[in-house]
Amino acid sequence: MTARGSGPTCGSPPFPPPHPRSAEVFTGIVEELGEVVAVEELADASRFRLRGPVVTEGARHGDSIAVNGVCLTVVEHEGAEFTADVMAETLKRSSLGALAAGSRVNLERPTPVGGRLGGHLVQGHVDGTGTILRREPSEHWELVTVSLPGDLARYVVEKGSITVDGISLTVVEATDDTFSVSLIPTTLALTTLGHKQPGAPVNLEVDVLAKYVERMLRYGTAPEQPAQEG
């Protein structure tokens, strides 16, 4: 089960959006490093207030914003800040529950279908969490190794795509329980992976295309046709 909301919108109680929405996807290209302003505990959810002047520009009630790779729905918006309610199931299956006031987060607005796909197709439905195991810096880049839940290993391949805390990355090496990615200076400077240390949790979303391929191989690509007589 993925870390998504319990209704048709992301990460929040189900309600119809107040304006027409086209089909939307994320690309894993982080637009800015935002900040958690406050976290309020509700009966069966948590209310996050976050600051992000880039992603809130033109934002409206009901819009989607990815926060560390988790698609959330804007329920309130004022100036450079927005509020999103995160359901208990999402908190359980992602690392958002570890956030507190002052935490930095990766923020991205969705790209309408037909728009430029800078990274790869990202849904904002987290498949699980991993833990940063080690960081190996070099002169121009840094190799980061992350633990990989066993049920996700079959979807992660060398040179394939994976989303880590909402960042589209290319897998350098994959084993049954770990994978490694190379981070360039821009990624280190502009995302949370620049400062997360070994032991820190990260949200993981595998390439959805791998899931579709697996399902087609399991059930076939087309229904069987009846035999023709004569």
Map out the domains of the chain with their CATH numbers: 24-112 (2.40.30.20), 128-216 (2.40.30.20)
Lowest mean pLDDT among 173-177, 191-195, 211-215: 211-215
Mean pLDDT of 118-143: 90
Lowest mean pLDDT among 74-88, 188-202, 207-221: 207-221
Write out the two tokens for 93: 């299956």
Q: Concatenate the DSSP letters of all residues of 5-68 into one string.
A: -SSSSSSS-----SS----EEB-S---EEEEEEEEEE-SSEEEEEEE-TTTTTT--TT-EEEET
Would you say 105 and 67 are in contact if contact means Cβ atoms under 8 Å apart?
yes
Would you say 51 and 37 are in contact if contact means Cβ atoms under 8 Å apart?
yes
Mean pLDDT of 68-90: 95
Per residue in 170-182, pLDDT (tens digit) is 999 999 999 999 9
Please identify which residue in the block is written with the tokens 């819009």: 63
Total number of residues shown for the chain:
230
Per residue in 118-129, pLDDT (tens digit) is 667 788 999 999
Write out the two tokens for 228: 């023709």
Nearest residue to 24 via CA among 57, 58, 72: 72
Please tell me whether the overall predicted TM-score, pTM, comes out greater than 0.75 for this model. yes
User: If you average pLDDT over every residue of the chain, what do you get?
Assistant: 86
CB burial of 134-166 (b: ≥16 within 10 Å; e: otherwise) equals eeeeeeeebebbbebeeebbebbeeebbbbbbb
**Any bridge partners for residue 107, and if so which?**
32, 67
Q: How confident is the model at residue 23 (pLDDT cuts 50, 70, 90)?
A: low
Question: Tell me, what's the pLDDT at 34?
Answer: 97
**C-alpha 7 chain-centroid distance:** 17
**C-alpha 60 chain-centroid distance:** 21
Neighbouring residues of 203: CB distance < 8 A, sequence distance ≥ 6: 3, 68, 69, 70, 94, 95, 96, 126, 129, 163, 164, 165, 166
Question: Tell me, what's the pLDDT at 121?
Answer: 79
Would you say 163 and 169 are in contact if contact means Cβ atoms under 8 Å apart?
yes
Q: Is the pLDDT of residue 227 over 80?
A: no
Nearest 5°: phi and psi at 170? -100, 130
Nearest residue to 10 via CA among 121, 122, 158: 122
Q: Is the dihedral of CA 84, 10, 42, 192 positive or negative?
A: negative
Write out the two tokens for 63: 């819009």
